[in-house]
Amino acid sequence: MRTTTRDSSVLVGRGLTKHIDGRTLWRDLDVDLEPRTITALTGVSGSGKTTLLNVLGLLDAPSSGELRLGERRLSGISGKDTRRLYREHFAFLFQNYALVEQWTVRANLELALRSIGVGKRARASRIRDALESVGLGEREKSRVYTLSGGEQQRVAIARVIAHRPTIVLADEPTAALDADNAHTVKEHLRRIADDNAVVVLTTHDTDMEHFADHILRL
């Protein structure tokens, strides 16, 4: 995964080490995560896959090492700068979808786009296009709790698409889905990557390993 480029969207880690409760999860990791690629973080339970994903997404800090986005150093940046990076670059897919179940599909996407400063007119267009791209164009007004698990994951993916991030971090995105819905999620992640995004995911799914461009085993 090494590259000599310093594109502003390349996420780079150097010497990343993480200690928790006296235990070392991983030590001296070097990673170069490039646009238009999908990287799968694999390993046994407890190996630190989700922890590494959180470090890459600035939700946690490494015990040592450095993280950069292009030439920009990310380690130790202020909360204000972190929030700006979330608005401009980062999006997340969580195992539980992180949706408000009593709200409509549209309301969930509206909240996400308002939080990153997208204007009202642009929000409407982005939401419509994103839902159509995942096959849920007719479900804008549906309450989330009425949707299947696969549909809820597609809403979460539509939220990512509407955000238009350069880096997508997904924690076990197919773990709770049947084979058909898992295949659909993989197709959408591939399209997001092909649209010049970095995609990093954790997985126990051996098929997902074959699907990814790079594997990082912890």
Condensed to tens digits (0 to 9), the pLDDT of residues 97-127 reads: 889 999 999 999 999 998 888 888 889 999 9
Identify the pLDDT of residue 7.
57
Mind giving me the DSSP string for 1-65? ---S---TT-EEEEEEEEEETTEEEEEEEEEEE-TTEEEEEE-STTSSHHHHHHHHTTSS--SEE
pTM of the model: 0.86
Identify the pLDDT of residue 204.
84
Identify the pLDDT of residue 1.
39
Pairing type for strands 90-93 and 167-171 reads parallel
Q: In what order do the strands lie in the sheet with 11-20?
A: 23-33, 11-20, 64-69, 72-73
Residue in 71, 50, 46, 73 with CA at minimum distance from that of residue 60: 50
> pLDDT tens digits, residue range 15-30?
999 999 889 999 999 9
How confident is residue 8, by pLDDT bands cut at 50, 70 and 90? Answer: low
Count of CB atoms situated within 10 Å of the CB of 54: 18
> pLDDT tens digits, residue range 64-87?
999 999 888 998 888 888 888 888
Cα 199 to Cα 125: distance, rounded to the nearest angstrom:
24
> pLDDT tens digits, residue range 166-214?
999 999 888 878 888 888 888 889 999 999 999 999 988 777 778 899 9
| Cα separation of the two ends of the chain | 15
